[in-house]
Structure 1
Amino acid sequence: MIPLITKRTDFRDLDKLPGFLILIDKPEGWSSFDVCKKIRHITGVKKVGHGGTLDPFATGLMTIGVGKGTKSLTAITARDKRYLAGIRFGYATDSFDITGTITDELADFDLSPEEIAGKLEESFSGKIMQLPPMFSAKKVKGRRLYASARKGIEVERPAVEVHVYRADILEWKSPHLVVDFHVSKGTYIRALAHDLGRAVNVPAVLESLRRTHIGDYDLEEALTMEQFNDFWKRQAAD
């Protein structure tokens, strides 16, 4: 069994093990590649991978495989996930989040939490067909969509079936909405935010995203990068 490193574990001599998994709380501004690169630097192990990408502006739970721990990542990637999504109504962007270029704006609108909840239940519950965002790493005919998007090229792409298990409104302070999404593998939360805006006839973008669960792995168990660095130094010194 591959060891799992969390806040509550106390392993020794990890550098002598063939592989292990780590639960990491990714900081804002870091790419998933940045996290893996830092883990390589800390551990000195070249073979490091992750069980699901997070955009740089997003934060939260990542599962990192080190050494032979990377063999477990395919199964982990297939697990369902939960996110806390901050959605901002009033404008839309080409990337469907706040990092993109504004494509639509609406200054005056009147939305109620009941109306939003109704649309979530009506159109974003159970199995739905989702069109992947152009600014995504999904491949169409062997080419990443974002490569075409950066050149201003719109690529025809098929919608993909995803499953929204739950979409619970946690907070509404117009124009800001916070939703707890529980979704299947491959669901783009940015696309849910964009499509929700279209459903209520008010443009919307994803303004924050925090992944809280990957299957039964919980963000509460995850280490920050600083905590893992300190943990590695301590166990190596013992």
Structure 2
Amino acid sequence: MNGVVLVNKPPGPTSHDVVRRIRALAKGARVGHAGTLDPRAQGLLLILVGDATKQQREFMAGEKEYVAAIRLGATSSTDDAEGKITAMSNAQIPMTNAVRRTLQSFVGETAQVPPAYSAVKIGGTKAYEAARRGKPLTLKPRGVTIKEIELLEYRYPALKIRVACAAGTYIRALARDIGKKLGCGGYLSALTRSRSGNFLLKDAVPLSSLTSQNLAQHLLPSTAIPSTLNR
């Protein structure tokens, strides 16, 4: 059994939970994924089965696209709704034109500090492990590339955007930085991955629909994979 399964991950399970589920259905085949989705996030998760796991690095390098809901007027210790939320007092409500200008200022190559609660390692220690112990690591900015940002909806404090970005971009950090630049604070309240490379969420199968009997029907053959890695 070899190929890629496009899974529509619901909020709740971790990416590794999904891998374990597919591994049980695949009955012994090697299984991995091509890009973590946080537990609260939903949407497209590429599950690699059999020989496709050998191409994991190529799959992970594909451009990603997300729909992100951002809550303005507050900050979070984790840059999402999971953390300690602190309201920003006396924050001015940004006008729509200011929001548009701010969003476009992030398009292109930019420096981004990963979230304190992330899997980034320093000296073998993961940032989220250190943060949970109350000793957060000092994380250095990393270069990321934002291809597009589109304003979908805005009614303060709710902001919804579409983001196309290169691999390695933290949307939680982007939400934090947008709020900071607007002067009102912000954190990621919901996230949906809609594309990975040329694979689309609309073609994905709900995780709950997969069984050992139908898994093979949802495998994209390895011969069809190389042409779909990048948009």
Per the TM alignment, residue 23 of structure 1 is displaced from its structure 2 partner at its CA by 0.5
Q: Report the counterpart of residue 45 of structure 2 in structure 1.
A: 62
Q: Report the counterpart of residue 116 of structure 1 in structure 2.
A: 99
Unaligned runs of 5+ in 2: 218-231
Q: Report the counterpart of residue 201 of structure 1 in structure 2.
A: 183
Instruction: Report how many aligned residue pairs link the two structures.
Output: 217
Say if 2:159 is the partner of 1:177: yes
Contact 1:49/1:70, CA 8 A, preserved across alignment: yes
Match of 2:192 among 210, 214, 219: 210
Q: Distance in 2 between matches of 1:155 and 1:78?
A: 26
Say if 2:114 is the partner of 1:129: no
Q: Report the counterpart of residue 228 of structure 1 in structure 2.
A: 210
State the percentage of identical aligned residues.
33
Structure 1 residues 103 and 151, CA gap change in structure 2 (3 angstroms)? farther
Say if 2:3 is the partner of 1:25: no
Q: Report the counterpart of residue 133 of structure 2 in structure 1.
A: 151
Alignment TM-score, normalising by the size of structure 2: 0.89
Per the TM alignment, residue 140 of structure 1 is displaced from its structure 2 partner at its CA by 1.2
Contact 1:137/1:146, CA 8 A, preserved across alignment: yes
Per the TM alignment, residue 103 of structure 1 is displaced from its structure 2 partner at its CA by 3.8
1:208 partner amino acid: A
Deviations 1:191-211 (A, max 9, x none): 000011110110111000000
Unaligned runs of 5+ in 1: 1-16
Contact 2:26/2:212, CA 8 A, preserved across alignment: no
* CA RMSD in angstroms, aligned pairs only: 1.6
Alignment TM-score, normalising by the size of structure 1: 0.87
1:191 partner amino acid: A
Contact 1:42/1:232, CA 8 A, preserved across alignment: no
Say if 2:161 is the partner of 1:161: no
